[in-house]
Every structure is written in structure tokens, then in C-alpha cells.
Structure 1
Amino acid sequence: MLTHLTLINFALADNLAIDIEQGFNVLTGETGAGKSLLLDALSACLGERTDTNYVRFGTDKADVTAVFSYQDGSPEAEWLKAHELDDESGEIHLRRVIFSTGRSKAWINGRPGSLSELKEIGRLLVQLYSQHSQQQLLEPPYPKHWIDRYSNFYTPAQQVRDAYSKWQKDIRQHQAAIDAQANRLQRIDTLQLQLEELEELIQVDYKEIEQEFDRLSHHEHIMQDCSYSLNALDESEQNIAQEMSSILRRLESHAGRSDQLSEIYNSLINAQSEIDDATANLRQFIDRQSFDPERMEELNSQLEVFHRLARKYRTQPDELKNQYTEWQQELEQLHQLEDPEALAEQVEASYQDYLNKAQHLDDIRREAAVPLAKQLTEQVKQLALPEARFEFKFEPLEQPSAEGFSFIQLLFTANKGIPAQPLAKVASGGELSRIALVMQVMNAEKTDAEVLVFDEIDVGISGGTAEIVGRLLAGLGKHVQILCITHQAQVAAQSDQHLLAKKRQSDPASSSILELEEDERIQELARMTGGIEINETTLQHARQLRQLKFQIA
């Protein structure tokens, strides 16, 4: 769970440290007080995009750290272990530094990390639901995705997508075989002629014969220079070998008198050995050389063939061997290319596999849809919609798709005796916000993340409805940690921890987030229900809201 947040020079926060408790936590405050600070800082630590507006005015960087606790064997523990980032503290420290230049740096448990790594671990730790989530309800894929998520149909849904992809790939291969069939035999003949033309030539290494031809072409010059070198090294009256021996005799008697002279003497000994080896190799090289005009003519002929074919096939002479290999591979592929009839059988097999998987997915979705619609109906009825009713409508698609056989619509009616219609056509804004809230809470019950963040998702509700929403979130907070930004006193009253965002008009302005004690909570709840002027009536109402929490608990 999230245990601590530290914000340094982050937006309106100069130096802010917040401890977050287990259970249901709310954050309230007047508009503009800085409620978004906490969520923006948390999002930055989870690898979301940032900009220079997060850097406090007059400073060069913002620094935020989020600390989470975790249990052994949890998904985040396994992730840390796989990335060699686990330690004995049982904590995860996610840190992000944002510079005024626009750059940013990230650390995970003190080690530099990438934004993609922050996002990976972040998805395991936190699930965010925003006030704009109700718009997702109006997107056509949402009902299907919601059923899959709530019912944990990810695996069969992915199997359908994979089967569909395989089927489409086989269709493309079949069509390619049909298209290629007409030109296939002609291309095979062409490749075979080209390979026959190169077959004998590629047995010869172009670079080797080029080097041998160059050596024979310069035979006389090479022999003259080699003879001169051998004479200088070992055969003239004052040759290098004799001079080296003389030098070594002179230095030998003094080598023991100086470490430096000893090192020089040893180096010259090694040099003499290298010269002796080189001289012997040079003599051997000269003895083995002979000029063969017939061999030179043979090499010249081979080189001419290399250059002629290189020009013909528009490549370099030393690339002809690679060209031969490519043609050989293409020819093998053409020979191995199955005929369209065989590929048609493969298309049919992959199609049947797709049909089986898609039918199974459609069946389990339909089976899950009925009780899920009933559960959604019962939950929404509590939010001042006593006649609400939901249905999932499955419409066959004109063409099978990677998502299955059916287009799934969520139908809704808020009135008794009125048939359910597509949600986007009949639901008002207030109804949409309440439906979105319930669907998000139901999804949250199934998430693996241990921290759920709700950003003003109770917009558009009030009174008794808000009180029920508070109870829903409080009940959910018994299983996971919840952080909720709210303007509703009825929601805030149900929380386990109440945080208050306050702005100070210093120079420059700054915001802080405070944990409220019970008396302070009553004052804040009274402000939320009664406005600027707080009197005994609003205070009494605030106390009653708090008492409801303890009565329910």
C-alpha cells in the first residue's frame, strides 16, 4: 500500500510530507487549494508524463517520492525480484526529479530507472479512476471490456485475438500463393540458370585470387625488395644481425649496474629474437617464390569472369557469393511453397480454431452478462435510481473480428415499464456519473492493485446518494487502500483518514496537505455542507454524518 509521499518544490508545494493510512482515505479542500497536488505527484512517481509546470516557480527542479509497502509473493514483489530491485525493507521507493528544462530522472529503490519501468511497477501498485471515466461508458468497446475485466476473461479474449491473427495470416499466405503461382515456374527457371552460371565460380575465393594475381604481377619487384632486405639483415658485411650482436655484447657487461640498462638490454634481446625469426621467414618466403605465367593467365581469366558477372548482376565481384546464397534460398522457398490447395486447407483449419475459441468466448460472455447486469442493477438502485434496470445486448457482427462474434451494448432504463435502450441515448449526465461510479467500484473489487485512487468520481451526486457512495467506498476500503478526492461531505464522513488541502497566499503562494483530527474533521465536514458560515446547525449535521460511519461499522 501507499505509505508516504514527499513533495519538494512540486507545483504549489515547497516541502510537503504526507503519511497515508490503510483503508479509506479522503482528500478535501476548497477549489484551487491544491487537491490535485497529491495525485499529480503520485502520477509522476508512476511514470506518467510531466511538464515544467510541476516545477515550483523560482526553483530549478521538483523532487517527489512515493513509498509503498508490499508483501512477499505479491506481483510487485516478483517484479522487483526479476529486476534485482528488492531489498530487506519490504518497501518500494519511487522517486522522480523534474527539471525546469523539461528533462526528468527516475529512481526505483535508489537505482536509476526508466519511465517504462516506473509504469510497469505502477500498474501493479495503483489503479486510477478519474471524474472523466463516465465518458468511457459511451465508447462502443466499453461494455465488452468491462465484462472481460470483471469476469477475468483476459486469457480467452487474447486467445481469440491470437487465433484471428493466425487465420488472417494464413489467408494472406494463401492469396500470395495464388498470386505467385503464375510466375513461380518462370522464376524457378530464371534462378536455376543464374545459379548454374555462378556455381563453379563461387568455389573460388575472389579476394584470394585477386591477392595472388597482384603478387604475381609484382613478382620481380617483390623479389628485388626482399633480397635487398635479406642482405641488409643477415648477408652484407655490416648487417643488422651483426650490429645487434655487437650492441648486446657492449651492454651485457653493464646491465647489472643499472635497472634501466638491464631493462634496455632485455628489450634488445627480445628484438634480436624477433629479427632472427623475421629473417628466417623472409629467407623461406624468397626460396618458395617462383613466377608462373600460366597461373597468372588462369587467375586473370577468373578475375575477368568475376567482373563480367558482377556487371551483369549489378553487384560487386566479392558479393557474388552472397548473391548466390540469396538466390539459392529463394529457390528453396519456391520449391517448398505449398500449392494453393494445401494452403486453403491450412486456412480452413485456422478458421475452425478461431471459430471454436470465439464461440467459447461468446458463450462465457453471455453467461456472465446476465448475473452481472443484475448485480449492476442492484448496486445502481441504491443511488436514487430505484427503477433502474440494465441488460447486455449481444448483436452478431457482420464479419467475425479479433474481438469475437458479437457487438455488446449496455442497455439501461431508469423508469418502470420503459424498455431498456442503449445507455448513450437515454442516460442523463447525473445518471451516467452514478452508473460510472458503480461500475468503477465493481471493477475495483477485482483489481490486483492494492491502491485505488478515485479522483472526484462523485461529481453529480449529493445527499443520500452521496452517503451510499461513501458506504460503498468504505466497504471497499476494508480490502484495499483507497484514496479519494471528493467535494461531498457524505463521502468524506465515511473515511478512515481525512486529509485537507489548504493554500497560503505567501510569496509565492504555497499549498499544504494536513491530516485532520476528529474535531478538525467535524469543522471541515461542516464547511463542506454549510459553506463559509459555520454554525451549530452545520456542526451538528457534520457530527451526525460521522456517527453514521460508526453505526454502520
Structure 2
Amino acid sequence: MLTHLNLINFALADHLALDIESGFNVLTGETGAGKSLLLDALSACLGERTDSNYVRYGADKADITAVFSYQATSPEAQWLNLHELNDDTGEIHLRRVIFATGRSKAWINGRPSSLAELKEIGRLLVQLYSQHSQQQLLDPPYPRRWLDLYCGFAEPAKRVREAYSLWQKTIRQHQAAIAAQASRLQRIETLQLQLEELEDVIAINYSEIEQEFDQLSHHESIMQDCSYSLNALEEAEPNISQEISSIIRRLESHAGRSQQLADIHAALLNAQSELDDATAQLRQYIDRQSFDPERMEELNSELEVFHRLARKYRVQPEDLLGQSQQWQQELEQLQALEDPETLAELVAQTEQNFLTEATQLDNIRREHAIPLAKQLTEQVKLLALPEAHFEFRFEPLDEPNAEGLSTIQLLFSANKGIPAQPLAKVASGGELSRIALVMQVMNAEKTEAEVLVFDEIDVGISGGTAETVGRLLADLAQHVQILCITHQAQVAAQADQHLLVKKQQTDPASSTILCLAEAEQILELARMSGGLEINETTLQHAKQLRQIKFQKT
């Protein structure tokens, strides 16, 4: 539930802190007072698009925070745990800062977050219904979506979409297999020949034989340089080892007189040890070397094969192994492809699976459509449409699709004895708004969100019809929290909390939101009923509207 909103330099709000109660909350105010202020701020905290126009004139940024309470077993609690954002307070703090440059930042429970994360948690917390929702009724897929939502058919509908997707995928694979059959066999043969040609070569390490060949090619110069080095190290008179020993002896007598000379002496001792090891290894290397002309010829032949194949396949010699591995992988993939006959069987199988799932979905949709249409009829009759009648029409599709086997239309008649026709053909604007309102309220009963926002959805109704709408929303508010912007006194009279939006003539102009006490609410209801001049008649009417609320309670 939404418990608190804090707005700083947001649109017309200078600094506004508002506590929201549970139950049915209404926002009223004169045209232009800024009734959408609260909903715009809430939408910003839920990750909706914003721009610099939301920043109050003269300010460098707008700062909005929305606080929600939640239960430990709720979907939003699971989401917080999944994203490691649960702080064990039982509250969710959503904050959005919008800068005058147009960019914005967001936080969830104090941690910087993305707008995508705000939208994810927002969908679990709040469901918004606007005055333009009636246009959805004219969208051909809407009756099917509404039927599935209200009757809880999301899972079977998902299975149908997945089965259809798999069926279409196997069709594409089958068609591709037919088209590629000839080229596939030819490519397999080519790959097998190429791999056979590289079979012996890839068993040899190119880098190792290249290095070995290079050593044999320079054997004579290597041995000459090694012999010279060994002679200089220990066989010549004087040699390097003797000279270093002499230096060490000379410095040793002075090492106690200077720390720096002591360090030099130690370093030379280490160098002498390293030099002795290197000399021993050099002598060992010379003793083990021998020139093998046959081995050199063998290496030369192997390198010629590497270079010939590298030129043929336009790669570096050291890359032949990698090329062979790529060809082997491609060959295995081609060999693993099923032939068109096997794929044809799979197409038939996936088609049958889809038809089974789609038929089951179609059957339960038809079964539930009749009582749902009756329920919708009874609800709409309460809104001054006593002869309203609804029914769903199912017509088989020429070709099944991901949504099922049938198109689903919602038919309507407002007059007794007149056959029901598609809504778009026979419903007036006022009738559409009332039907949309009832369908939204029925949908709201099924939503998981704990906060429902209705933005002037009562446009186009008045009098007793508006009173009925107020009662519908008040009944719904027994189960969820409702925020409703309204111009209808009959709706506002049913509220548990009445919030009044007022524009203040400051410089620059600003808006504030007041929580009305009972006496103040009576005055606001009188204004909504009778205009600017409030008299005893309008006051009495406002009191009667509130009495209806209390009598019902």
C-alpha cells in the first residue's frame, strides 16, 4: 500500500509531504489546480518517462519519494529478496531525482537502480487506469485479453503461444532442410576431403618443429658462440670467473667499513653463484649437442607440407590446427542435421501438440465466456443501462495463430429486442465509457497490485450513475487501496480520505494538496455539485451524499 509521497520542486509543488490512507482516496480540485500532480509524481517513481518540464521553474532538480508498505509473503517482497534490496523494515522507498537538464537518477531502498528495475517493482505495486481506457475496447484483441485475464487463463494461453512457436520453428527447419539438402551433401564431402588432407599434419606441433629446424640450421654458429663463451667464462687466462673472484676478495676486506660496499659484496657473491650455474649448464648443453642431417631433412619436409597447405587454404601454418577444428565442428553439425523426412514427422508432431493445447484453451474460453458475459451485463445495468446485454462471439480462424483457434468479439446491445452487435458499431461514447469502467473494476478485482489508480475514469457519467460508480469503487477499496481523480461529487462522497488540490498564487505559482476533514469535505462536495456559489441547497445535497456513504457503512 502507498503510505507517503514527498515532492520537492516537482512541477507546481514546492515542498509537499502527503500521507495516504488505506481504502478509497479521492483527489478533487478546480480545473488547472494540478490534480494530476500526485499521479505524475507517482508515475515518475514507478519508472515512467520524465523530462525537464517536471522540474519546478527556477529549480535545478525535482526530487520525489514514494513509500509503500508490503507483506512478507507478497510478490514485491519476493522481488526485493531476489534483488537483495530487502531491508526488513516492511517498506519500499522509491526515489526519483529529475534534473533540469532532462536526465534523472533512481533509487530503491537507498540503492541506485535502473528505470527498468523501477518499472518491474512498479508493476507489482500499482495498476493505473485512465479516462482513455475506453479506447482499448475498440482494439480487436481486447475481448480475448480481458477474458483471459479475468478467468485466469494466462498459463494455458502461454502454453499455446509456446506450442505455436515450436511448431513454426520446425516448419522453418523442415523447409531449410529441403532447400539445403543438395548443398549439404556436397559440403559434407568437401569437408571430409579437407580434414583427411590435414589429418597427418595436425598431429605435429608446428611451433616445435620450426624451432628444432631453426636450431639445426644454425648448429655450427651456435656451437662456435657457445665454445667462445665457455672459454671466456672459465678456460682463458685470465677468465671471467677468476676476475670476479678477485673483485670479491678485494671488496670483502672493506665490507665491514661501509654498508654500501657490504651490499655490493653480497650482490657479487650472488652473481658469482649465478655465473657458476650458467657455466655448468653451458658446458652440459655443449656436451649434448650433435648435428643430425637426416633429422634436418625430415623437419624440412614436414615444414614444406605445412607451408604448402597453408598457402592452399590461405591461413598461417600455425593456424592449420584451428582451421581443422572449425571444419570438424561444421561437419559434425551438418551430419547431426536430420533429413527432411524426419523433420516432416516432427512438424506433424508439433502441429498436433499445438492443436491439442489450442483446442483445450478454446474450449475453456467458450465455457467461461457465457457466465462472464452475464456478469458483465448485470454490472453494466447498474450504470443506467437497464436493457444492456453482452455476449461473446467465437469465429474460427482461417489459419490458427499464436493466440488460438478463434477470433473473439464482444457483442453489445443497449435496447431490448435488438440483436447484439460488435461494440465498435453500436456503442455510443457514453456507453463505451461506462462499459470500460465496469470492465476495469472487474479487472481490478483480479490484479495482484495493492494500489489501484483511476484517473478520471468517470468522465461522461453523472447523477445516479456516478453514485453507483462511487459505490463500486468503495466496495473494491475494501480489498485494495484506491486513488481516484474525479469531478463527480457522487463519487467523491464515497471516499475514506478526500484530498483537495489547490493552486496558490505565489511567485511562481504553486499547488498544494490538503487532506479534508468532514466539514471541509462537505464544502468541497457542495462546490463540485453547485459551482462556485455554495448555498444551503448545495450544502444539504452534499450532506445527503455523505450520509449515503455512512448508511452503507
Given the two structures, how large is their TM-score scaled by the length of structure 1? 0.93
- State how far apart, in whole Å, the 2-side matches of 1:245 and 1:454 are: 99
The match for 1:202 is: 202
- State how far apart, in whole Å, the 1-side matches of 2:371 and 2:77 are: 35
Alignment of 1:397-436 (within 5 A): 397-436=397-436
The match for 2:481 is: 481
The match for 1:122 is: 122
Tell me if the contact between 2:11 and 2:37 (Cα under 8 Å) persists in the aligned partners: yes
- State how far apart, in whole Å, the 2-side matches of 1:248 and 1:511 are: 95
Tell me if the contact between 1:248 and 1:268 (Cα under 8 Å) persists in the aligned partners: no
- State how far apart, in whole Å, the 2-side matches of 1:146 and 1:244 are: 98
For residues 308-364 of structure 1, the C-alpha deviation after alignment (integer angstroms, 9 at most, x for no partner) is: 323322333333222212222222233333222221111111111111100111111
Q: Secondary structure at the match of 1:39?
A: helix
- State how far apart, in whole Å, the 1-side matches of 2:262 and 2:549 are: 94
- State how far apart, in whole Å, the 2-side matches of 1:439 and 1:248 are: 104
Judging changes above 3 Å, is the alpha-carbon distance between structure 1 residues 525 and 250 closer, same or farther for their aligned structure 2 residues? farther
For residues 191-239 of structure 1, the C-alpha deviation after alignment (integer angstroms, 9 at most, x for no partner) is: 1111111111111223333333344444455555555665666666453
Deviates more, 1:288-297 or 1:418-427: 288-297
Judging changes above 3 Å, is the alpha-carbon distance between structure 1 residues 533 and 226 closer, same or farther for their aligned structure 2 residues? farther
The residue type paired with residue 531 of structure 2 is G
For residues 436-466 of structure 1, the C-alpha deviation after alignment (integer angstroms, 9 at most, x for no partner) is: 1111110000011111111111111111111
For residues 368-406 of structure 1, the C-alpha deviation after alignment (integer angstroms, 9 at most, x for no partner) is: 111111111111111111111111111101101111101
Alignment of 1:20-419 (within 5 A): 20-223=20-223, 237=238, 239=240, 243=244, 246-247=247-248, 250=251, 277-278=277-278, 280-419=280-419
- State how far apart, in whole Å, the 2-side matches of 1:29 and 1:255 are: 97
- State how far apart, in whole Å, the 2-side matches of 1:520 and 1:263 are: 94
- State how far apart, in whole Å, the 1-side matches of 2:434 and 2:135 are: 12
For residues 16-72 of structure 1, the C-alpha deviation after alignment (integer angstroms, 9 at most, x for no partner) is: 111111001111111221111111111111111111111222222111111111111
Tell me if the contact between 1:252 and 1:265 (Cα under 8 Å) persists in the aligned partners: no
The residue type paired with residue 485 of structure 1 is I
The residue type paired with residue 518 of structure 2 is E
CA offset at residue 295 of structure 1?
3.4
Name the Cα RMSD after superposition.
2.5
Deviates more, 1:301-310 or 1:279-288: 279-288
- State how far apart, in whole Å, the 1-side matches of 2:323 and 2:143 are: 55
Note if 1:466 corresponds to 2:443. no
The match for 2:14 is: 14
Tell me if the contact between 2:126 and 2:450 (Cα under 8 Å) persists in the aligned partners: yes
The residue type paired with residue 446 of structure 1 is K
Q: Secondary structure at the match of 1:514?
A: strand
Deviates more, 1:411-420 or 1:300-309: 300-309
For residues 78-107 of structure 1, the C-alpha deviation after alignment (integer angstroms, 9 at most, x for no partner) is: 111111111221111111111222221111
Q: Secondary structure at the match of 1:411?
A: strand
For residues 160-201 of structure 1, the C-alpha deviation after alignment (integer angstroms, 9 at most, x for no partner) is: 111111111111121222222223332222111111111111
The residue type paired with residue 424 of structure 1 is A
Gaps of 5+ in 2: none
Q: Secondary structure at the match of 1:399?
A: strand
- State how far apart, in whole Å, the 2-side matches of 1:229 and 1:37 are: 89
The residue type paired with residue 426 of structure 1 is V
Deviates more, 1:383-392 or 1:322-331: 322-331
- State how far apart, in whole Å, the 2-side matches of 1:269 and 1:125 are: 77
Judging changes above 3 Å, is the alpha-carbon distance between structure 1 residues 230 and 108 closer, same or farther for their aligned structure 2 residues? farther
- State how far apart, in whole Å, the 1-side matches of 2:145 and 2:535 are: 48
Tell me if the contact between 1:129 and 1:457 (Cα under 8 Å) persists in the aligned partners: yes
Q: Percent identity among equivalent residues?
A: 76
Deviates more, 1:268-277 or 1:316-325: 268-277
- State how far apart, in whole Å, the 1-side matches of 2:19 and 2:478 are: 18
- State how far apart, in whole Å, the 2-side matches of 1:446 and 1:261 are: 89
Tell me if the contact between 2:33 and 2:503 (Cα under 8 Å) persists in the aligned partners: yes
Tell me if the contact between 1:231 and 1:239 (Cα under 8 Å) persists in the aligned partners: no
CA offset at residue 276 of structure 1?
5.2
Tell me if the contact between 2:76 and 2:121 (Cα under 8 Å) persists in the aligned partners: yes
Judging changes above 3 Å, is the alpha-carbon distance between structure 1 residues 72 and 280 closer, same or farther for their aligned structure 2 residues? farther
The residue type paired with residue 244 of structure 2 is E
Judging changes above 3 Å, is the alpha-carbon distance between structure 1 residues 417 and 299 closer, same or farther for their aligned structure 2 residues? same
Tell me if the contact between 2:254 and 2:261 (Cα under 8 Å) persists in the aligned partners: no
- State how far apart, in whole Å, the 1-side matches of 2:131 and 2:317 are: 68
- State how far apart, in whole Å, the 1-side matches of 2:109 and 2:170 are: 47
For residues 395-439 of structure 1, the C-alpha deviation after alignment (integer angstroms, 9 at most, x for no partner) is: 101101111101111111111111111111111111111111111
Judging changes above 3 Å, is the alpha-carbon distance between structure 1 residues 239 and 358 closer, same or farther for their aligned structure 2 residues? same
Q: Secondary structure at the match of 1:187?
A: helix
Judging changes above 3 Å, is the alpha-carbon distance between structure 1 residues 229 and 542 closer, same or farther for their aligned structure 2 residues? farther
CA offset at residue 247 of structure 1?
4.9
- State how far apart, in whole Å, the 2-side matches of 1:152 and 1:248 are: 96
For residues 232-261 of structure 1, the C-alpha deviation after alignment (integer angstroms, 9 at most, x for no partner) is: 666664537963895598479858986x88
For residues 105-151 of structure 1, the C-alpha deviation after alignment (integer angstroms, 9 at most, x for no partner) is: 11111111111111111111111111111111111111111111111
Judging changes above 3 Å, is the alpha-carbon distance between structure 1 residues 512 and 178 closer, same or farther for their aligned structure 2 residues? same
- State how far apart, in whole Å, the 1-side matches of 2:54 and 2:227 are: 79
CA offset at residue 488 of structure 1?
1.1
Tell me if the contact between 1:210 and 1:303 (Cα under 8 Å) persists in the aligned partners: yes
- State how far apart, in whole Å, the 1-side matches of 2:249 and 2:34 are: 87
Q: Aligned residues, how many?
A: 552
Gaps of 5+ in 1: none
Q: Secondary structure at the match of 2:446?
A: coil
The residue type paired with residue 196 of structure 1 is E
Given the two structures, how large is their TM-score scaled by the length of structure 2? 0.93
- State how far apart, in whole Å, the 2-side matches of 1:267 and 1:490 are: 99
- State how far apart, in whole Å, the 2-side matches of 1:255 and 1:106 are: 69
